[in-house]
């Protein structure tokens, strides 16, 4: 009888250990990070990007009236030559035509893909001084899981700073975060509660540059910690 009891005790102890290991493993895989690469980000206002030190881009300003174009013309978007696109406009008061007061004084024409800010490792761009814009990311989203933490990997230098983060479920904004980051960062942000993203998780990063410096930004990746 004693031997049977001893064997039973050992088997019960072994079964308990196995159960703890199995449960521990199951709990460990409940949370999983999903990331999107930095070069998948979309810059909201590309017209604010400028050349970095040592870079060149054959952009130029074209006077509207001097080019025989009127700012009230429906063809103003075709005012740049083939292969060039309107990236900025200069609003001035023009007396040449009644419909041009006020109107567009000049347009900035740039070739496609200039400046080139997409790299194999992420985004790399310079933001004009005293300006701000957004960089938008779409994170792979398992709709059945919840999120409380998001991650950002980036670098903001030369007067550049990340000042805000907006979290979106499809077209619905669910969270606003006010932050202040510069330098090389690998940060995890707590949303304060759990959110379900059944229409796709979007993360929008608000960036700005100081009034006298062109901010230099690099984005390596954005992600979220999905939990069952």
Is residue 180 within 8 A of residue 161, CB to CB? The reply is yes
Give the pLDDT of the chain (228 residues) as one tens digit per residue.
Answer: 445 555 555 545 544 544 444 444 444 548 899 999 999 999 998 878 887 776 666 677 787 765 555 555 555 556 787 778 777 777 654 555 555 444 667 777 877 656 678 899 999 999 988 999 999 999 999 988 999 999 999 999 999 999 999 999 999 999 999 999 999 999 999 999 999 999 999 999 999 998 788 999 999 999 999 999
Q: Identify each DSSP E strand in 95-159 by its residue range.
A: 103-111, 118-119, 122-127, 132-139, 146-157
User: Tokens standing for 10?
Assistant: 């050992």
Using CA atoms in the order 53, 59, 61, 65, what is the torsion angle rounded to 10 degrees?
180
How would you list the strands of the sheet with 172-181, edge to edge? Answer: 42-43, 132-139, 201-209, 160-169, 172-181
Exposure letters 168-189 (e unless 16+ CB within 10 A, then b): bbeeeebbebeeebbeeeeeeb
What's the CA gap between 135 and 116, in Å, rounded? 16
Q: Which domains does the chain have, with CATH numbers?
A: 31-53+118-227 (2.60.120.260), 60-111 (no CATH)
Q: Please state whether the predicted TM-score (pTM) of the whole model is above 0.85.
A: no
pLDDT tens profile 92-151: 545 555 554 446 677 778 776 566 788 999 999 999 889 999 999 999 999 889 999 999
Please, which residues have CB within 8 angstroms of residue 187's CB and are 6 or more apart in sequence?
151, 152, 181
Q: Identify each DSSP E strand in 182-214 by its residue range.
A: 183-196, 201-209
């Amino acid at each position: 009888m004693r031997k049977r009891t001893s064997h039973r005790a050992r088997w019960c102890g072994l079964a308990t250990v196995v159960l703890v290991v199995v449960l521990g493993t199951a709990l460990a895989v409940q949370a999983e990070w999903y990331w999107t690469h930095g070069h998948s980000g979309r810059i909201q206002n590309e017209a604010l990007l400028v050349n970095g030190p040592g870079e060149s881009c054959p952009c130029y300003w074209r006077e509207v009236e001097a080019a025989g174009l009127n700012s009230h013309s429906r063809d103003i978007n075709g005012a740049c030559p083939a292969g060039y696109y309107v990236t900025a406009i200069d609003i001035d008061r023009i007396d040449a035509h009644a419909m041009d007061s006020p109107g567009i004084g000049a347009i900035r024409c740039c070739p496609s893909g200039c400046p080139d800010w997409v790299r194999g490792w992420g985004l790399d761009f310079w933001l004009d001084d005293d300006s701000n814009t957004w960089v938008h990311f779409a994170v792979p989203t398992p709709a059945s899981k919840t999120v409380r933490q998001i991650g950002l990997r980036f670098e903001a230098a030369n007067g550049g700073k990340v000042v805000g983060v907006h979290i979106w479920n499809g077209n619905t904004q669910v969270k606003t975060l006010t932050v202040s980051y510069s330098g090389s960062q690998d940060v995890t942000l707590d949303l304060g509660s759990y959110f379900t993203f059944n229409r796709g998780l979007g993360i929008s990063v608000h960036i700005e540059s100081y009034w006298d410096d062109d901010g230099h930004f690099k984005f390596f990746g954005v992600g979220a910690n999905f939990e069952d």
